Structure 1
């Protein structure tokens, strides 16, 4: 187990290196000049060249990459062009806001999908099964940003039950997730983010459990007189490695794929920050945000692989 973990950690290094190359290349391939956003209409070419030199954008791209990678390795993601603030501090603050609602969303989706999938598998072919499948298909099919708009219209505009956008008057500073006064701002973003993984994991759980319940060892357990609850417990235990893998993947997708949802709710997370960086063509901020999101996704997959081996010793890692 420890040898496998060490091997996976070593293999993560070239993956992360490839992430830095792709991140740097994609940002610079995109059209537009970030320096033009900082210049006044009356600025001269000399002013533009001076600013470009100040941000290191006058060097050849390979030199820029080496300089940027060297700074990244010591935790320096550069300075934001639009805000003139350290990129690392902005990304860390935004990442904290994103990871909390993403974690709550995926845990909520995991718990509900396990319950709904188990009920659907046990009642396979019934009206309850078809209703749960319909809910799952709805969750997979509905765009999260569209659902976010609908939630705002219904619960904020029509019913006045929840605030529409933001994190309150205090912003992310001092935001308390254990206080309803603050947490109410996170309710609709969490619902919008939780629905797609709920649909995906419910269908996966239902199909896996339905297959397990038809296997011979389940018939043996029934013949021995075990209760329905204990039989379902054994069946659910057998799908846990697959469920954990799905949980980790969905968590990674929520962290990196929350751009539109956070934009709809003006939630100051990495998605909102990424959208801001794209619109302002802020290269350091864009690179830093993408790099942190990609690194988080790679590390989450690493943790999932290790967790699968620990949960199910039958899984052999070579």
Structure 2
């Protein structure tokens, strides 16, 4: 098992290196200069050169990348061009706010997805299966931002039950107003994971139930509940893989949802950085989210190997 973990760790290094190269190149391809927001329209050539030198934009692209990578490896994410604040402070505060939404959204989406998927598989071909499959497909198909707007219109504008925007707390919610401000974004974020997990669980459970060992367990007189536990254990590796990917998407793919609800998370921070052309914030946010994604895949691989020893080979 230790050799399996070490092998996965070594495989993650070139992936992160490739991601850093892609992030740097993509940011460099953005039209315009971030200094346009800082310099007056009538700025002199001398002032422009001084600002480029101060932010390192006077160097060739490959030197800028090596300098950025060196600082990144030493934990220095740089400083925001827009406000001069350390990027690390802004980013990790925003990530904390994103986790406040992502964790309950993951529990909600994964829990409902497993419940819907297992129920649909056990009633294969019946009316319940068709209904639950339709719910899962709807969850996958609905755009996040459109559903978020509809939720705001219904529950905030028309019914006035829940706040439309904003984070009504700092850190962890401890008041009713704080919990109420989380309800709409959590439901919106959990919609797609619920649909994806439900579809995967249904397919995985049906595949396992079609295998010979399930008939053998029934022939030995095991209760249906015991047989279902064996089926779920064998379906778990595929489900875990999808759940890990979906949690990564919750962290990195919540830009539009956080923008609609004005939630000060990493997605909203990245959206603002794109509009401001704040290159240090953009680069740091994307590379940190990518690192979380790689870490989640590593954790999922280890969990799968613990459940199914065949994966370690």
Q: TM-score range by the shorter chain?
A: over 0.9
Question: Which residue of the other structure, out of 214, 221, 225, is the alignment partner of 2:221?
Answer: 225
Distance 2:213 2:139 in 1: 33
Question: Which residue of the other structure, out of 270, 273, 295, is the alignment partner of 1:274?
Answer: 270
Counterpart in the other structure of 2:66: 66
- The two structures have a TM-score, normalised by structure 1, of 0.95
Question: Does structure 2 retain, via aligned residues, the 8 Å contact 1:244–1:308?
Answer: yes
Q: Aligned ranges for residues 175-254 of structure 1 at < 5 Å?
A: 175-254=171-250
Counterpart in the other structure of 1:307: 303
Question: Which residue of the other structure, out of 288, 292, 311, is the alignment partner of 2:284?
Answer: 288
What is the RMSD computed on CA atoms of the aligned residues? Answer: 1.3
Counterpart in the other structure of 2:101: 101
Stretches (4+) displaced over 6 A: none
How many angstroms does 1:274 deviate by? 0.6
How many angstroms does 1:143 deviate by? 0.5
Gapped regions of structure 2 (runs ≥ 5) = none
Counterpart in the other structure of 1:88: 88
Distance 1:106 1:60 in 2: 43
Distance 1:24 1:39 in 2: 23
Distance 1:179 1:237 in 2: 39
Distance 2:312 2:14 in 1: 23
Counterpart in the other structure of 1:115: 115
Question: Does structure 1 retain, via aligned residues, the 8 Å contact 2:97–2:171?
Answer: no
Question: Does structure 2 retain, via aligned residues, the 8 Å contact 1:263–1:271?
Answer: yes
Distance 1:308 1:223 in 2: 29
Cα deviation 1:254-312 (Å, max 9, x = unaligned): 11111111111111111101100000101111111111111111111111111110122
Distance 2:176 2:304 in 1: 35
